[in-house]
Amino acid sequence: MKEKFNEKVIPVILKFINTKGIQSIKNGMVTSMSPLIIGSIFLILSNFPIKAVVDVLESTGIKAVLDQACGATFSISAMIAVIGISYSYAKLENQEPLNCAIISLASFLILMPSSKTTESGEVVGGIIDKTWTAGQGMIGAIIVGLIVPLVYCWFLKKNIRIKMPAGVPEGVTNAFSALIPAFVILTGTAVIHGICSIGFNTTGMEIIYKVVQTPLQKMTDSLGGAVLMCFTGPFLWFFGVHGSTVVGGIMTGLLQANSLANQAIIDSGVELTIANGGHIVTQQFYDQFINITGAGITIGLVMYMFFFAKSKQLKALGKVGIIPALFGINEPVLFGTPIVMNPMLAIPFIGMPVIACLIQYFALYTGICPLYGATQIPWTCPPIISGFLLAGWKSALLQLVILCVSFFVYLPFIKKVDKMNLVQEKNQPVEDEDEDW
């Protein structure tokens, strides 16, 4: 089975994740992480868990400043994504990326609603609605961020451009080279907008949201979709493929959209619950609970090796891996134990994230723990601390439960590996009897 999987499946997966489109999405979405993490600091301060502190912030006007900073980060995440994705795509094609990113942003804005009706019935035009520059526009941003550079690079590869004589500054040359593809792309986008607005009384971004994004978000937010996502990462890791990269490249846009949709509910003054449209499966669901201490939630494995291992190999790995594991880095354990291609540890490694998914999904679905807003905690933040910063003590306790479960899930399997290593080190035959715990 392993040989067939390596020969038939792995090459297809590697070919898929190495396509320019997936690489561009992965690289482009990363560009939004810095402003989102900084924005999370303002968000935490603005929604401090102590009411007296919030009252002081409101009375002094500081809360309004913090909210403004949040709006300038979280509320433009789709705009950042469309710039980052298109820039990355053009760069992978060895074409000038900045003009491509600007054209993509312009196309994205053309497809967005540019007017809004107030409560009094007055229509206000000429606006950029932050509703569509954040969560609701995320899939539209990905689509525009892929299609625009595809067309842009085609024109430049075919040398369909305005050429400038030698000696003209590079910036001017690049600007004129982009004129023809920019004209075609922006004109085509305007035509699409005209068809949507005149023919269907809507916009391209609204159609994408209703037809594509909403069904995908519902699918990712289901228990089955969550389990499949949590299974796929470690399953691919077992065969040596960076499963976190594959899942992240495909799912990040949708998970971020779910997080931002939850934050929009909070910002509207409504309680964030499933009944009010809140999403369970978000970026935080995956980063802070499924990938906590690294793929496969291997902290239980590392704790055994650090405190209880008897073989020299596992003792050494425990000492090397304990600190990195607390910061979400477990490659030394994955390849040193090894877990990759090791059938002895396949079951706990693949099964633990699924178990964590079920525990977390139940806790959020039943309301035992709160749903997550848009607060982004760096994936390197140690567990318990990240849970508390994310949603308070209940989420921190949930992380602790998952970490404890991890130890007992890995325990019988790593005990067997430890015993086999110990016998091998002593050059003695393997015995089947296990020690009692």
Give tens-digit pLDDT for 135-186: 888 889 999 999 999 999 999 999 888 887 777 787 788 888 889 999 999 9
The domain boundary, picked from 196, 219, 242, lies at: 219
Please indicate whether residue 239 or residue 73 has the higher confidence score (pLDDT).
Answer: 73
The domain boundary, picked from 219, 242, 274, lies at: 219
Residues 370 and 261 occupy one common structural domain: yes
Residue 433 lies in a domain: no
The domain boundary, picked from 204, 219, 234, lies at: 219
Residues 283 and 400 occupy one common structural domain: yes
Residues in contact with 270: Cβ distance below 8 Å, sequence separation at least 6, in sequence order: 276
What crossing angle do the helices spanning 33-46 and 51-60 adopt, rounded to 10°? 100
Residue 432 lies in a domain: no
Residues 339 and 415 occupy one common structural domain: yes
Residue 434 lies in a domain: no
- Report residue 280 as tokens: 């369970």
Residues 232 and 177 occupy one common structural domain: no
Quick one: pLDDT band at residue 49, thresholds 50, 70, 90?
A: low
Residues 172 and 302 occupy one common structural domain: no
Residues 76 and 205 occupy one common structural domain: yes
For residue range 211-264, list pLDDT tens digits in order: 888 888 888 888 988 999 899 888 888 877 777 777 777 787 788 888 888 888
**Domain carrying residue 9:** 1-115+125-219
The C-alpha angle 409, 223, 381, rounded to 5 degrees, equals: 60
Residue 234 lies in a domain: yes
Q: Would you say the pTM of this structure is higher than 0.85? A: no
User: What is the Cα Rg of the chain in Å?
Assistant: 25
Q: Please state the domain count of the chain.
A: 2
Question: How many residues are listed for the chain in this entry?
Answer: 437
